[in-house]
A and B are shown apart, each in its own frame.
Chain A
């Protein structure tokens, strides 16, 4: 736990590249100021030169050159342990459900049995997220779990799909891979997309590739598949609705059998696993996938938008619904079919958009309860968060235009004249509407984003939004007055 917070502090300071107050760090990382100070002391005590400098009244800043020095040394120590544990986990996952002899592990990894026991503890913690368990017997170790979960773990442990956002990075990250197998798996993805005349965006491209690749390497080592999947009536119904997708999956499995030189039917249930995966992916430009839950996706999307809007006090553009809806539809299928979708961007999302992620996570929890869906993971939440973050950032840009309403007695008279003049002279202002002074309360209630009211008549308004009274012809004097208010609003925004 301590290590995680320390790392988060370093990451936060690295990202912001300036002095950050302890209050901001505390709010950003959701820990107390005391905890922040304790961890910063501990981080600095760990190294000969402090990597975080502090200044009274300004806060903390990362000393980047000191940080780079220690980071380079550290990577070597941490990464060798991590690499060894990953190798061990990969061996166990490939062998599962069979046991692996301790003798083999100790000899192949060049470690003592006491180091092995420590590694086992770390691996046990790590595989918990895939619902897998490590079972230690007297002289052997074994990973226990479903075939689907073992493959999900393999996708992350062997291919590091949780850290890559494109297939070529997977190739670079996994230099140990058999390039022939890698290329073959890639050719199958390309074939599927060609036949379906579609394209798969991130993260579906990487996941679909990883699924085929893991299928291939598992098939080489472990051939006894769980055949019960083919009897799943729900899945049979989906197959009837999506014959093209099923046909592609059959072709891929046939190609894999040819590639591996298998001529029996042992790999046939793989068609169903592959179908499940492809069905829950979002194709760009391919509308052929038919999913049953369109109405549910519609309701879930509305609920997400409503809740996140409330939590963030932000009005999202109606167009956001169309963008999220298709993602939500595919997500519902994944949740129902228990297909995990690792998110390589999750750490960055949490760090870059902490408020939006928190709001989306809160909404996701309610979505699961209200619509009786399985728990929505942080990975899935992260993907949905990105849709909101895009609009939220846009609305909260420090240099975004000031939204103003122009008021006169009619809403079409002098307000019309001065709005044209304002547009021509003060580009920092976006006029969102003209209105009569009789409607002022209603407008402010319905348009919470308004930051400035410019009026040609005195108005009776007691709220927080600044009101600037100008003449009916918006003279140079009026222009200067309004420019001053604009400057003040921009300063307040930056300060906030």
Chain B
């Protein structure tokens, strides 16, 4: 698993707007793009369909028009994001942000790893473990296992 795959961060995020602002700031800096572009992508995807799963876990997407290897940014908020509901009506407080190019090449490094992590998220026991994690680094460890 390459390091680019999992960046972790612990913050207090109280609502979705603040959460998106924080995510956009980190991603814009790392990818050298405008923060507004990242924000636009996050909210556009979220308007199409909610990316929240269950037990406080959401997987917001950032889709950028450039070529790069997909990676993940993981957040653990100590407070619940009050205006972001999961399918089981729990409030989101764990974010696994997926940062991908618009055209994902199967040959790109990180592709297989991302697919493997998504497969893990389909497992209820993994979601339970993530729910019990105390910080973002612990979530990353669960996904790397």
Contacts and interface: CB of A to CB of B under 8 A. Distances in A.
Contact of B59 (A420, A436, A438, A472): A472
Contact of B122 (A417, A457, A458): A417
B49 A475 contact: no
Given A413-B59, A414-B59, A438 B102 contact: yes
A438 B100 CA distance: 14
Interface stretch (A86-94, A143-151, A386-394, A404-412): A404-412
Given A410-B104, A413-B59, A458-B48, A472 B53 contact: yes
Chain B interface size band reads 20 to 34
Contact of A456 (B49, B103, B111, B119): B49
Contacts of A457: 48-49
Interface in B44-88: 45, 48-54, 59, 61, 63, 70, 87
Interface in B95-145: 98, 100, 102-104, 111, 114-115, 118-119, 121-123
Interface string A438-459: 1000000000000000001110
Contact of B48 (A409, A412, A424): A409
Given A417-B118, A472-B53, A411 B104 contact: yes
Nearest to B110: A412
Given A410-B104, A473-B87, A417 B53 contact: yes
B52 A418 contact: no
Given A412-B104, A413-B61, A413-B98, A420 B122 contact: yes
B63 A410 contact: yes
Binding site secondary structure of chain A: loop
A420 B98 contact: no
B101 to A, nearest CB: 9
Contacts, number: 71
Nearest to A420: B122
A474 B123 CA distance: 11
Contacts of A436: 102-104
Contact of B118 (A416, A471, A475): A416
Given A417-B121, A475-B87, A410 B53 contact: no
Contacts of B87: 471-473, 475
A456 B87 CA distance: 13
Given A457-B48, A472-B49, A472-B51, A412 B122 contact: no
Contacts of B121: 416-417
Contacts of B114: 412, 416
Contact of B100 (A413, A456, A472): A413
Contacts of B98: 410, 412-413
A94 to B, nearest CB: 68
A481 interface: no
A410 B54 contact: no
Given A417-B122, A418-B122, A473-B87, A412 B115 contact: yes
A61 B8 CA distance: 71
Nearest to B101: A410
B48 A473 contact: no
Contacts of A424: 122
Contacts of B102: 436, 438
12 contacts: A410-B100, A412-B100, A412-B111, A412-B118, A414-B51, A416-B119, A420-B123, A436-B103, A458-B49, A471-B49, A472-B51, A472-B87
Interface of B: 45, 48-54, 59, 61, 63, 70, 87, 98, 100, 102-104, 111, 114-115, 118-119, 121-123
